Amino acid sequence: MPEPETYRGFRHSFRKVAGIGMLACGLIGCSAVPTGQLTSPDAGSGANGQTVPSETSSSAVATKDGDQQSAASASGGLPSAHETETVSGHFLAARQALYLSDVRRSAEFFLQAIDGDAPDVALLRQAFLTQYYYGDIEQAAAIGRQLERLNLSMPLAGEPGTALAIRNKDWAATLVLADVIAENTTAQDIAGVITAWAHAANGQGDAGISQLIETGRMAGSDIDALPDYIQLNIALMAEYLGHTEEARRRAGNLQRLDLSAGLAIQLAGFFIRDGDLQAADTLLGKRLSDQFNRHSTMEMLIEQPQRGTDIDSLIASSIVEAALAAQNETAQRSLSARLRLALFIAPKLEFGHLLLAQQLSDFGQFDEAIIHLDRIAVDGLFGQPAQLLKASIFESLGNTERSISILKAAVTADRDNAYLYQRIGDSYRRARNFTQSRDSYMKALALGNDTGVLHRNLGMALEQLGEDLAAEGHLLRALKLNPSDAYALNYLGYWWADEGRNLEQAIGLIERAVEERPGSGFFVDSLGWVHFKLGDPQKAVGYLERATELEPSDPEITGHLGDVYWVLGRYDEARFKWRLALSLSADEEERAMLSARLKDGLAAKDVPAAN
């Protein structure tokens, strides 16, 4: 019986390569440009609208006499103080660091590349971006001022300086700098909330509320439905200004909306400060996912009744929520920078640390992600989601024992949370501890978690324990609850076909799985392998060739194609695939099997027609 999370499509990849690529493209650009040419992701236009040309990577060209001459730039063609190979080396090192998703090292190299009297404009832009994305807001602000002195503008350039003004509570400067941010049309919502709270801090509360309403109308598609975070800011600003009835009315309207966790917690805090504990408890029960310890969250909000009334924290939270709400691609690409901006303004903003840790984890930057998770109190408002993310990171790093230990601690603090038992069950199952996995799933089921995912995973664990009747029942229950669950379709279909039962239904289930997930090489492999086992190698070969295209580094799929080639008489191709599978495999049993095939060919007992 094939291993369930390999052959049946349950491979787990915690490092999301696409995410890494998006971050690198966001900083250095990924369009097809000539070698040695650098492009800024935010289009090169100067302060007066003139186009900023792409620069050579060395910032200089050599004359026929061997002297160095600066390449033309938008700053007016000033000569570079750098030696060509020094600038080029720093630029190439910075670019390579970005491709490796190491923003910290890239930021260092770009800083070294612009260390001169007249730095290359394109490099200056990239230095700003990497400093901002790395979170060195003060350094980014300094480079932003340098760009301003050169009469150059670019999106994001005014944001670090604004953050410094907010930290210094220089509200007059904040208002001026927020106007600079607003020049970038994709950042007008962020500029609006900053301006509004700066007005309130400056004693101009009515202007602040008017600014929020205007910002909401520009950001929302419906003039009568302001974005959720704008409505919450209006309620909180009314509270800040002492307009209690207005704040209550606005907060009451928000109860009916499908708020995010961050907004729900802020709104619940208002209800608690206003003495309406029931409204807060009901809201948290509706809006917080099972990743939260709702009881603990309520207790923390009661213990900290003034939480959320600090203007720095309100601005930082608004920046986060505005960034999350943005639909355009540019704003989404800037999310990491905006999270770091918010944390610079309010270093203790736990929601910001959690979101940034999630993004870093997606990019494979696990060490830095854990640093941010460690800044979130275990018993704090976002403590349990932070611990669950940490558990996922440790499991992805192969430290299952540490992961399960973290999950057990979470269960101890939140014993009636069925989701936590399911999470532990998943970890045990992936570690092939099926008895513990089954027991954890059964606890989740007893606590009322009657979901398709739970029944599917429980069925998998039971099948591995030989409890076939119960396993089949739970897999069928999973498909009743979610008929399009590709994983359950594939698992049950392959199991039946592998044992020669319900063959017509089995193939139908796997075909449905492939329809649901046509890009899954594991599911396509299942379909091809079942046709092979049913004695139809001609039909199987097309599916298996497609599966190897989708999953070229999987030894089992590659080995399957070799087996089919052998039965079809394509012996050289079969041996080639077996050798490739052998080079890919780290499993000793699989390697022994492949070695035997390379020596003697496919044994008669492994040819379906012989069974």
Place of tokens 């369930």: 4
In the predicted model, what is the mean pLDDT of residues 457-480?
Answer: 97
Instruction: Mark which of 282, 313, 346 sits at the end of a domain.
Output: 346
Report d(CA 89, CA 21) in Å as an integer. 22
pLDDT at residue 466 in the model:
96
| Residue 85 maps to a domain | no
> Residue 242: CB partners within 8 Å, gap ≥ 6?
none
Look at residue 337 in the predicted model and tell me its pLDDT.
87
Strand pairing class (60-62; 68-70): antiparallel
Sign of CA dihedral 502, 503, 509, 512: negative
For residue 531, which phi and psi values (nearest 5 degrees)? -60, -40
Higher pLDDT, 250 or 95: 250
What is the average per-residue pLDDT within 229-253?
Answer: 94
127: amino acid identity, one letter: A
The pLDDT tens digits of the residues spanning 545-574 come to 999 999 999 999 999 999 999 999 999 999
pLDDT at 193 exceeding the cut of 70: yes
Backbone angles phi, psi at 152, to 5 degrees: -115, 145
Q: Are 578 and 559 in contact (CB under 8 A)?
A: yes
Confidence of residue 90 (pLDDT cuts 50, 70, 90): low
CATH number for the domain that contains residue 548: 1.25.40.10
Q: What is the largest CA-CA distance in the chain?
A: 88
Average pLDDT over residues 169-197: 92
Top-confidence residue, 139 or 108:
139
Q: What average pLDDT does this structure show over 265-278?
A: 95
Does the structure show a pLDDT above 70 at 177?
yes
Of 126-130, 271-275, 305-309, give the lowest mean pLDDT range: 305-309
Among the listed residues 312, 219, 216, 308, the one whose alpha carbon sits nearest the alpha carbon of residue 263? 308
Whether residue 610 lies inside any domain: the answer is yes
More confident residue, 79 or 277: 277
What's the pLDDT at 143? 81
Residue 298, domain member (yes or no): yes
Q: For position 445, what pLDDT does the model report?
A: 97
Given 312, 346, 380, which residue is the final one in a domain? Answer: 346
Residue 260 sits at the vertex; the CA angle it makes with 256 and 263, to the nearest 5 degrees, is 80
Residue 324 has which token pair? 């999350």
Would you say residue 37 lies in a domain? no
Instruction: Provide the CA 583 distance to its chain's centre, in angstroms.
Output: 32
Q: How far apart are CA 197 and CA 312, in angstroms?
A: 9
Point out the least confidently predicted range of 85-99, 524-538, 558-572.
85-99
- Region 141-163: mean pLDDT is 83
Q: How is residue 53 annotated by DSSP? A: -
Per-residue pLDDT of 329-338, as tens digits, reads 666 678 888 9
**Cα–Cα distance between 477 and 451 in angstroms, integer?**
9
Q: 125-134, 494-503, 558-567: lowest mean pLDDT where? A: 125-134
Give the list of residues 6+ apart from residue 600 with CB closer than 8 angstroms, or none.
none
3-state secondary structure of 38: strand
Determine, yes or no, domain membership for 280: yes
CA gap 246, 234 in Å, rounded: 9
C-alpha closest to that of 249 among 261, 238, 263: 238
**Top-ranked range on mean pLDDT: pick from 200-204, 254-258, 570-574:** 570-574
Alpha helices in 465-570 (DSSP H): 468-481, 486-498, 503-516, 521-533, 537-550, 555-567
Helix/strand/coil (H/E/C) assignment for every residue in 372-403 = HHCCCCCCCCCHHHHHHHHHHHHHHCCCHHHH
C-alpha distances out from residue 396 to 13, 202, 269, 420, Å: 8, 48, 35, 18
Question: Read out DSSP for 9-35?
Answer: S-----S-HHHHHHHHHHHH--S---T
Q: Is residue 115 part of a domain?
A: no
pLDDT band at 3 (very low <50, low <70, confident <90, very high): very low
Q: Please tell me the number of Cα atoms within 13 Å of 232 on its side-chain side.
A: 28
More confident: 304 or 609: 304
Buried b / exposed e over 576-588, threshold 16 CB at 10 Å, is ebbbbbbebbeee
Least confident of 77-86, 152-161, 519-528: 77-86
Give the torsion through C-alpha atoms of 588, 592, 593, 595, to 10 deg.
130
pLDDT at 223 exceeding the cut of 80: no
pTM: 0.77
- Average pLDDT value for residue range 137-146: 83
- Determine the average pLDDT of the residues in 66-92: 43
pLDDT category, 239, cuts 50, 70, 90?
Answer: very high
Please state the rounded mean pLDDT for residues 94-104. Answer: 58
Q: Which residues contact 443 (CB under 8 A, 6 or more apart)?
A: 418, 421
* Weakest-pLDDT range from 11-15, 504-508, 603-607: 11-15
Is residue 550 within 8 A of residue 520, CB to CB? The reply is yes
Q: What is the pLDDT of residue 307?
A: 53
Domain count within the chain: 2
pLDDT at position 152 is 78
- pLDDT at 368 > cutoff 80: yes
The sign of the CA dihedral 394, 395, 399, 403 is positive
pLDDT band of 43, cuts 50, 70, 90: very low
Q: Which is more confidently placed, 50 or 462? A: 462
As a whole number, mean pLDDT of residues 313-317 equals 93
Would you state the pLDDT for residue 411?
Answer: 95
Pick from 100-104, 499-503, 542-546: least confident: 100-104
Residue after which a domain boundary falls, among 295, 315, 346: 346
Q: Rg for the chain (alpha carbons), in Å?
A: 29
What would the mean pLDDT of 453-459 be, rounded to a whole number?
Answer: 98
Q: Is the pLDDT of residue 439 over 70?
A: yes
> Which structure tokens are listed for 463?
């099948």
Say what percent of the chain tops pLDDT 90.
62
Residue 394 lies in a domain: no
Count the helices and strands in the chain (H runs, E runs).
32, 4
What digits encode the pLDDT tens for the residues 570-592? 999 999 999 999 999 999 999 99
- 120 vs 117, more confident: 120
Q: Is the pLDDT of residue 120 over 90?
A: no
Better-scored residue on pLDDT, 219 or 299: 299
Q: Is residue 417 part of a domain?
A: no
Print the domain residue range for 553: 521-611
Give the per-residue pLDDT at 484: 95
Give the chain's mean pLDDT: 81
Instruction: Find which of 78-87, 126-135, 251-260 is predicted with most confidence, using mean pLDDT.
Output: 251-260
Residue 598 and residue 582 in contact, taking contact as beta carbons nearer than 8 Å: yes
